[in-house]
Structure 1
């Protein structure tokens, strides 16, 4: 039995999701396309809507969210065969327990039933995330130089894809 529970969040979980998301953005600002300042200014309804438009899996330990992984549909009329992975993060105090892998495994099992492929982007400097994604069957198909910018400078992003049913390496 895992030392944590994994479940899909719903709109009733918006406050807990908001707290976790803001803590993640604050603790690892270079790993996200958004920022703590931008999202902390958003009302709770913003996070409720996020949980309605995406599937977000959360790992809970002792009732508290300690990790998340989101999957959103592409909305273009010719892109509905694709999903987009976002917001994969595990709190530092519980890393190394297989939480990120467990979240991604659940997410991909769902994605394989609903999409032909899933995409994501990760900062080129985020080696642990890149390793996790590659072990889950994602392949790098491109690099966007200077994709993200903040007061510390630029970050390149690697673009990754995984086709449905691709077993992990």
Structure 2
């Protein structure tokens, strides 16, 4: 994985989400030690619960293997299970995704961008969610560590 802002001094960022979990075995411990934070907690929109395919040739997702035909369908499959879990908790998929990242450790800060107020409100609602160990098991079963298709770019 690449750091998001190479050459920048101070804290760096690395993608970490339910879909992008390849860092858990060896990179995450080093990131924790060095103060590197996670970004991309929605895996470029895949697990936001509001998926929209790339619309322009300049969209990053047009070139990323995880968004190519066959891979994107497999990567979206956990979202429906997460949607059922979210509905049972009266939350959204995006809120579960944020709450899951936040539950991974006090040293992990979920970073997400919002273009609209409703997106911001939805994201902020995630911080009212306290996931139980049982919730974490359900989420983990929906999106196991090595479940994504197509490498992250």
TM-score by length of 2: 0.30
TM-score by length of 1: 0.28
Return the structure number with greater helix share. Answer: 2
Between the two structures, name the one with larger relative contact order (CA 8 Å, sep ≥ 6): 2
